[in-house]
Amino acid sequence: MYVGEVQRLHALYESEALTEPYLIKRRSKYPKEGGWMYADCKANLKKGDEKDMNHLGIDVVGKRKCRAALKDDKGKILGEFFFSNERNGILSLLSRIQSHGKCVTVLESTGNMWMRIHDLLEEIGIYTKLAKPYKTKIIAEAKIKSDKLLDARILSDLLRTDLICESYVQKQEDRDKRSLVMHGITLSRTKTKLVNKVHSILDKYDYRTELTDIFNSKSGIEWLKSLTPLVTSVDKIILDTSIESIETINQQINAVSKEMSKYAGDNKDVKILLSITGIDLFSAMLISTEIVDAKRFSTPWKLLIYAGLAPSTRESSEGKTKTGGITNNKTMLAMVKMMDICSMCTYRYNI
């Protein structure tokens, strides 16, 4: 299935994508039988265009406060200032840098606080890069921390010298899908804690039933409620509140699932994922929202590295190579889900 997809992408990139000026061609050693796979990657602005541009570094220091440093192409400071992380504050920032000419901007992906700045700057037409925080350790390692504008200055210098490790910025629609999936995960984890609490009370009194799903069926919930008069007053309160919360969370999970099914209906990637043994709608949406677009990875191996499924490798200056377990990238929850699916398939289907 994948080789056919590679061939289709190869034909597409050869005919259309590679003619675009902002795309660069990358070759892959996959598949080994022959042929090349090209991945479309948005390149940085051309050096010729950057010569006359200024570089704006933005340090998001809190929910409402940001620092900015503007430098020209030679590193001369043109302006340093604070502004509020709201629409009026961002517009005031633009009015202050407008007199210095065109610029490109960089800011770190700190929580959700970068979205408002990034989206507004892109909407106005200012090219904005999103830097990976863990790749900008130079900021944390700076010796002088008394200067409140130091972080913004360094970001501006990294942008000017083309040393920014850029993060992938999802579209607003993709962010909404991911937020919905993350909310579903939060609800499921909260329900799991409550279920464990109820199980502990059932084990305490050695109550058992032949019902297989007591937390998602009407008969199961009714059986749990029938036990409340048989326990102590404290356990009765715990059991009553836990059952009531589980019923409410079940309704919320159903609402989230219905909304996810609307998105999944028009998503080709989700349909393909659903054809894999062990993957349900929630798992497919989780993997899809984490990867978004597989074509943004130049090789399949880079996708594995991003997912944290690639084995770790350590090389020394003496030429020695040591391999270890998977890298286990905690930033991608889809990796955890894939491992659960693989374990389940291995146990159930003896794969």
- pLDDT computed for residue 45 by the predictor: 42
Residue 322 burial (10 A CB sphere; 0-12, 13-18, 19+): exposed
Token couple for 61 = 């220091």
Token couple for 176 = 């909404």
* 57 and 125 part of one domain: yes
* 155 and 62 part of one domain: yes
Higher pLDDT, 276 or 254: 254
Number of domains in the chain: 4
Provide the 8-state DSSP code for 231: S
φ, ψ for residue 105, nearest 5 deg: -130, 150
- pLDDT computed for residue 20 by the predictor: 36
Look at the block and give the residue holding tokens 């609307």: 262
Average pLDDT, the chain: 76
Please give the span between the terminal C-alpha atoms of the chain, in angstroms, as a whole number: 19
* 132 and 59 part of one domain: yes
For residue 340, tell me if it sits in a domain. yes
For residue 31, tell me if it sits in a domain. yes
For residue 173, tell me if it sits in a domain. no
pLDDT in tens, 131-174: 887 767 655 465 444 445 458 888 888 888 887 878 888 888 88
Higher pLDDT, 310 or 270: 270
pLDDT-based confidence at residue 78 (cuts at 50, 70, 90): very high
* 69 and 116 part of one domain: yes
* 199 and 138 part of one domain: no
For residue 228, tell me if it sits in a domain. yes
* 81 and 136 part of one domain: yes
Radius of gyration of the chain (CA): 26
What does the alpha-carbon distance between residue 252 and residue 185 come to, in Å, rounded to a whole number? 12
* 187 and 154 part of one domain: no
For residue 74, tell me if it sits in a domain. yes
Report yes or no: 260 and 282 within 8 Å, Cβ to Cβ.
yes
Q: Quote the domain boundaries for residue 236.
A: 178-257
* 224 and 150 part of one domain: no
Report yes or no: 341 and 351 within 8 Å, Cβ to Cβ.
no
- Give the count of beta carbons closer than 10 Å to the beta carbon of residue 216: 14
Residue 27 predicted with pLDDT over 60: no
Q: Which residues pair with 60 in a beta bridge?
A: 66
* 66 and 23 part of one domain: no
- pLDDT computed for residue 10 by the predictor: 42
What does the alpha-carbon distance between residue 309 and residue 156 come to, in Å, rounded to a whole number? 34
Q: Count the alpha carbons within 13 Å of 43 in the hemisphere toward its beta carbon.
A: 14
For residue 170, tell me if it sits in a domain. no
For residue 277, tell me if it sits in a domain. no
Token couple for 213 = 């799903």
What does the alpha-carbon distance between residue 121 and residue 100 come to, in Å, rounded to a whole number? 16
pLDDT-based confidence at residue 39 (cuts at 50, 70, 90): very low
Domain termination site, one of 211, 240, 257: 257
* 94 and 12 part of one domain: no
Cβ neighbors of 288 (< 8 A, separation 6 or more) are 177, 267, 269, 270, 273
Predicted TM-score (pTM) of the model is 0.70
Residue 116 belongs to a domain with what CATH number? Answer: 3.30.420.140
Residue 58 predicted with pLDDT over 60: yes
Cβ neighbors of 254 (< 8 A, separation 6 or more) are none
* 62 and 32 part of one domain: no
Higher pLDDT, 348 or 136: 136
Domain termination site, one of 127, 160, 193: 160
* 344 and 325 part of one domain: yes
What does the alpha-carbon distance between residue 38 and residue 59 come to, in Å, rounded to a whole number? 35
What does the alpha-carbon distance between residue 95 and residue 100 come to, in Å, rounded to a whole number? 10
Give the angle subtended at the CA of 307 by the CAs of 304 and 308, to the nearest 5°.
90
Domain termination site, one of 132, 160, 188: 160
- pLDDT computed for residue 329 by the predictor: 59
Task: Give Cα separations from 217 to 194, 228, 317 (angstroms).
Answer: 16, 18, 61
φ, ψ for residue 343, nearest 5 deg: -65, -40
